[in-house]
Amino acid sequence: QLVESGGGLVQPGGSLTLSCEASGTAFDYNAIAWFRQAPGKEHEGVSCINRSDGTTTYGDSVKGRFTISRDNAKKTVYLQMNSLNAEDTAVYYCATGGPMLYCDGPPKAGDFDSWGQGTQVTVSS
């Protein structure tokens, strides 16, 4: 199971950190990713972190602004989001795929089959 938290309302230019706490075997899987979905749009791959080698990947729209990390002791993956703008407004989800899934680019929703319930991020003044 995956449980996201940390969403909320933030002003443009502000920052938020999202958390994804994993239970069961989910955290043992190699790749854990963040996606987001804005109203009327499909899931967009935001970022992914690979347990095997620690590599991270990002979507073009968040590169340089978002940072993904994981705390193995807490079984939690974080998404630090800086310089937020209105286009970042969405429901953010964390997800895992099969145990050996490896992200070599921005995560693709079709590769992931276990999703959290999501947390709303709203960027507005």
For residue range 11-49, list pLDDT tens digits in order.
999 999 999 999 888 888 899 999 999 999 999 999 999
| Tens-digit pLDDT profile for residues 59-94 | 999 999 999 999 989 999 999 999 999 999 999 999
Residue 100, SS3?
A: coil
**For the chain, what's the residue count?**
125
Distance CA 60, CA 91 (A): 18
Enter the tokens of residue 61. 């729209």
The predicted pLDDT at position 92 comes to 98
